[in-house]
Amino acid sequence: MVSLGERRPPPGDLASLSELDEASLLGGLRERFLRQQVYTDIGDILVAMNPFQPLPLYGREVSEQYRHPQRGTLPPHIFAVASRAYHAMLGHRGGGPRSQCIVISGESGAGKTESTKLLLQHIMNLCKGNSQLEQQILQVNPLLEAFGNAQTVMNDNSSRFGKYIQLRFQKNTVRGAKLSEYLLEKSRVVQQDTGERNFHIFYYMFAGLSSEEKEMYGLLDPSLYRYISGRFGTQDVAQRWKQKYQEVCNALDMVGFQEQEQVDMQAILAGVLSLGNVTFEPEERNGSVKVSEASRGWLKAAAGQFGVQEDELLKCLICTMSVTRGEQIQRFHTQQQAEDARDSIAKVAYGRVFGWIVCKINELLAENVDPEVELSEIGILDIFGFENFAVNRFEQLCINLANEQLQHFFNYHIFQMEQAAYKEEELPWETITFNNNEPILNLLLAKPLGLLSLLDEQSAFPQATDKTLVDKLNSSFKGNLHFQPGRGRVLGFSIIHYAGKVQYTAGGFLEKNRDTLPANVRGLFINSITPLLSLLFTATISRTGTLMPHVKAKIIPGADDKFNSTRKQSAGAQFRHSLMMLMERMYSANPHFVRCIKPNSQKEPGVVDSQVVLLQLRYNGLLETIRIRRDGFSWRPLFEEFAERYGILLVKPHVSLTKESCLEILQSTDLTGWICGKSRLFFKYWHQEQLAKYVERLERAAVFIQKVFRGFRCRKSYLKLVAELRAQAQRLQEEAERERSRQLAVEAEAQKRISLPVPMPRKRRPQPCTHSPEKSPQPPVPRPRSKLTESTPFDNFLDPSAPRPVLGTEEQTREEVKMRKCKRGATIRWFKETQAKKVMQDDGAFPDWLHGMISRREAENLLIDKPLGCFLVRISQSRPGYTLTYRGEGRCRHYMIEMQPNARYVILGEDRAHASLTELVRYHQTVGIQPFMEILTVPCGQKSSESLDYEDLECLRLGPPEAEGEAPPEEQPCPSRPSPSRPALQSGATTVLRHVWFRRNKNCQKEESLDKSRTKPSSGKEIGGQRAFPRLHSSICLAMQEIQQFSSAALNTSVRNGCQALSIEDVEPK
């Protein structure tokens, strides 16, 4: 075994290799991988090898190092790609602000999904603002993974859909996000191959739901369900799934899904599983089919979970209704047609739930800015990798088509554009050949004779079969180098893709492309009493297959009679349109490439299979990529662009945008290796960073000049203000001296006129002088203050024309006091109407840690002598919400608690939402608050009898005091007054609050008792103190009882038959 420490480590940038061949490329990647250096550069392209194990490369310290990475100073990293894209979007890398896109490609299991999460994590860290939006965006990935990822033979967390995340920025702050999804593999809901599983969310639900919640949704033992193949995981796997389910629920809360929406969504998923257990058997009388006796309960359960009538759902499964010449005709299904109808309903229901989740995410994360404001964008593409299974179906064809498009996009930017520029500018260049996959794209996408066009043509004929499709393809593509007819009895064909030959099984191609939905199903679900399901089928479907819930589909009379009336476009046509729109977005942005490599097929850490890696290097064209990055010029700006951006390096005004100016700029630098063409300059990939350093040096000089000038202006303004204050103090002192002299003179004159002894008036003491006459008054010393306080004479005003605030005017003070009162009153009303009952404990008292509407300074004074970790929660004075004040080491920290529209509490910057304020406090008594991981220890109570914490709260009245014969308000003890009967204020305040918040009128009591009588047993999720349930909860419970009774009866029958058989054996003669 060779000791890697004795050899010179391979370079981090493969474009600097001295020998360029497959062996040196493979050896360099292998050695770096075995050193746990999983990232390698090829110029500005990143190669990422999946380590199949967690590595200490992604912590906060590492992320901080890559905020402003410079080439050569730090090793290659996925964070460096995110930083390059972010700074290029802001215009910091040699050009103006421009939208960017990051393209992550590779085969299934190469680590594309994890790379996407790391890119998002670092970009959110770069644009970190005081907003919850960053955390909401980060929660999108675990949510989509649960509903859109599944275990396959090649990957335990394979993306069964494609996604393009668009992050929208205003300057350097993220303002919103939009998600586009492509081709969810809905067939996985009803069928999985050997060694594969259904979508993660089904297993998460079984592992994460409590027994009471399973009963609520109508879920039994997972081994009973056909759609998950009756298989579940081990105890360790189930525990991991349980944790994943909690993460999904938290992500739903964080993004902003309402409680009832989450309950309805899980009820629909349970309905999909129950529907899969419905089986059919032939009817002897008329040749039709009926639901088997064993699955009657499953049909009833599915109807209850969907919120529809059982008999109506049954009609959709076993027959088709049509109207011919005004006469209604009922056509009964065969057993195969009934099973196809059942599976179609399950697939379309799950697909629309997934589409609704994506649409809801876009709605909740949409940017809230002026439409006229221009936003920059960073797009991240995470799409399914190239797949070649033992059995490849319609989904694999679409997936591999998408990968062909991405490979063409890569070839166009890396090879075609660059070499075309050399030819146009007449530069000496030896053409680099590459694997051009444009003929394969023509084979698949050409009109009218491409494969997808022929598939649509065959799908339009009701009599067409998969065999007629294959015959059509064989005759149309006879002689095409990239198409091979199927051999033997296999009904299929093969395509020579850029990544190799893939054999496709044609069975089911037409059915999946038609994407049929049984007649009357849409009308059935539109009339569902579950609002979510009704919304999903009322919505229309766009040309790209995207669900649009807010756009109602036009209902044409008689349209339901058609078998495929709900979709005019085939699945293949929708995918082609969505792919075309994706390419348009990507071609309009500046691309960054991440090529993911899978080191071995066994998913083992620390193992490199040379053949597996070499095959990926070949079809990705990485050898040719290294050659063009080493010898070529990846940055090719026009003369005008370059002079406009870097004219500042000449340090002179009015630089002309000409070739001569560009040459003058370059001669003022130390750059070498560039070439000047006829209309543009040609640079190596590292030149951009070198020029950026020159610009940064000038920017630092400009900032230093600004700092000195501003300091001069501020000192001048400060001295002027100090002189005015001294003059004002001098005038006041002189006026006080004159007034005292006048009073003495008046007293002396009065004494002279006294003739009779009369009582002398009491002498008025002169006002004490604020300044000693011997000592000149000194200007007040400015003290540190919060940025939120109003302006003072010591603020610096750089713009002399800007209006300065006039302090102390009566009108302004009155307005401020009025505004403060309005905000305070609004917050009190918010607390009274929405929070009081939630915060109160079971005994009617508030928790010790809750304080009233106190200020930041008052909270710090309460905690100043408390131990480390002491905390309190106070009601905000200026907004509806709370602030958590924590006694840290040497200082107090204030964490803003935000209440989301779905009634969840979140500490700003945290990644976890909580159902109540009490739950939030309990959670952070065991888990630290980010980023300092501070744990709450001791709650801070009231300090003294002079505390005014509850002055506002105790004046609240939720009902007239006379309603329950209470004492009038003035008879209630006030905690703000000193009282000898209150030795312990904390218990006294609690008593007062208990009295205050239990003041209810009789109507309120009646409403509460009525609500309690309607409330179901307590477990699961609650809305405002009341649980959310599926709409037909009682029907679901009855169905579950029926299923269990039938199972018990079947078990008893089998046991009885077994006993009878044993007794017969006993009586038989030996």
pTM: 0.80
pLDDT in tens, 423-468: 888 888 888 888 899 999 999 999 888 999 999 999 999 889 999 9
Q: Is the peptide bond before 867 cis (omega within 30 degrees of 0)?
A: no
User: Could you write out the three-class secondary structure of 907-972?
Assistant: ECCCCCCECCHHHHHHHHCCCCECCCCECCCCECCCCCCCCCCCCCHHHCCCCCHHHHCCCCHHHC
Spatial contact of 204 and 237, defined as CB atoms under 8 Å apart: no
Supply the pLDDT for residue 189.
Answer: 95
Query: Alpha-carbon distance 491 to 494, whole Å?
Result: 11
Mean residue pLDDT of the chain comes to 81
Residue partners of 348: CB distance under 8 A and separation at least 6: 186, 515, 517, 521
Least confident of 186-195, 277-286, 309-318, 732-741: 277-286
Spatial contact of 297 and 1042, defined as CB atoms under 8 Å apart: yes
Query: Alpha-carbon distance 894 to 884, whole Å?
Result: 6
User: Could you write out the three-class secondary structure of 805-853?
Assistant: CCCCCHHHHHHHHHHHHHHHHHHHHHHHHHHHHHHCCCCCCCCCCEECC
Based on the residue annotation, tell me whether 113 is a catalytic residue of this protein.
yes
Supply the pLDDT for residue 551.
Answer: 63
Based on the residue annotation, tell me whether 230 is a catalytic residue of this protein.
no
Q: Exactly one of 113, 544, 566, 600 is catalytic; name it.
A: 113
Q: Exactly one of 50, 105, 108, 279 is catalytic; name it.
A: 108
Q: Exactly one of 50, 116, 152, 159 is catalytic; name it.
A: 159
pLDDT at 1007 over 60: no
pLDDT at 1027 over 80: no
Supply the pLDDT for residue 496.
Answer: 95
pLDDT > 90 in the chain, percent: 43
Least confident of 207-211, 250-254, 821-825: 821-825
Query: Alpha-carbon distance 547 to 354, whole Å?
Result: 9
pLDDT at 772 over 60: no
Alpha helices (H) in 477-609, listed in sequence order: 509-514, 521-526, 531-538, 571-587
Based on the residue annotation, tell me whether 106 is a catalytic residue of this protein.
no
Q: Exactly one of 12, 256, 276, 385 is catalytic; name it.
A: 385
- C-alpha pair distances (Å), 694 with each of 190, 666, 669, 1024: 60, 11, 8, 59
At residue 847 the predicted structure's pLDDT band, cuts being 50, 70 and 90, is confident
The average pLDDT across 516-539 equals 89
Supply the pLDDT for residue 1008.
Answer: 42
At residue 969 the predicted structure's pLDDT band, cuts being 50, 70 and 90, is very low
Q: For residue 319, which of 331, 303, 328 has the smallest C-alpha distance? A: 331
At residue 812 the predicted structure's pLDDT band, cuts being 50, 70 and 90, is low
Q: Exactly one of 105, 155, 344, 392 is catalytic; name it.
A: 155
Spatial contact of 237 and 200, defined as CB atoms under 8 Å apart: no
pLDDT at 972 over 70: no
Based on the residue annotation, tell me whether 669 is a catalytic residue of this protein.
no
Based on the residue annotation, tell me whether 108 is a catalytic residue of this protein.
yes
Q: Exactly one of 185, 387, 404, 425 is catalytic; name it.
A: 387
pLDDT at 1001 over 90: no
Report the 10 Å Cβ neighbour count for 841. Answer: 13
pLDDT at 11 over 60: yes
pLDDT in tens, 103-157: 999 888 899 999 999 999 999 999 876 578 889 999 999 999 999 999 998 888 9
- C-alpha pair distances (Å), 720 with each of 724, 790, 809: 6, 21, 21
Q: Exactly one of 40, 141, 158, 295 is catalytic; name it.
A: 158
The encoded tokens of residue 475 equal: 């005759």
Strand ranges, E, within 200-341: 280-282, 289-291, 319-324, 327-332
Supply the pLDDT for residue 724.
Answer: 93
Which DSSP letter does residue 680 get?
Answer: B
pLDDT in tens, 172-188: 889 999 999 988 999 99
Supply the pLDDT for residue 783.
Answer: 46
Based on the residue annotation, tell me whether 385 is a catalytic residue of this protein.
yes
- C-alpha pair distances (Å), 885 with each of 673, 900, 923, 926: 58, 20, 16, 17
The average pLDDT across 23-38 equals 90
Residue partners of 654: CB distance under 8 A and separation at least 6: none
Supply the pLDDT for residue 234.
Answer: 84
Q: Exactly one of 12, 28, 106, 109 is catalytic; name it.
A: 109
End-to-end, the C-alpha distance of the chain in Å comes to 71
At residue 73 the predicted structure's pLDDT band, cuts being 50, 70 and 90, is confident
> Which residue is associated with the tokens 């939402």?
913
Least confident of 64-68, 343-347, 840-844, 1063-1067: 1063-1067
pLDDT at 1002 over 60: no
Supply the pLDDT for residue 973.
Answer: 41
Based on the residue annotation, tell me whether 355 is a catalytic residue of this protein.
no
Least confident of 357-361, 767-771, 834-838, 921-925: 767-771
Spatial contact of 40 and 14, defined as CB atoms under 8 Å apart: yes
Q: For residues 948 and 551, which has the higher predicted lDDT (pLDDT)?
A: 551
Query: Alpha-carbon distance 1047 to 1037, whole Å?
Result: 15
**Are β-strands 892-899 and 905-907 bridged in parallel, bridged antiparallel, or unpaired?**
antiparallel
Least confident of 585-589, 686-690, 793-797, 920-924: 793-797
pLDDT in tens, 882-906: 999 999 888 899 999 988 888 899 9
> Which helix (H) or strand (E) covers residue 443, if one does?
helix 438-445
Q: For residues 295 and 777, which has the higher predicted lDDT (pLDDT)?
A: 295
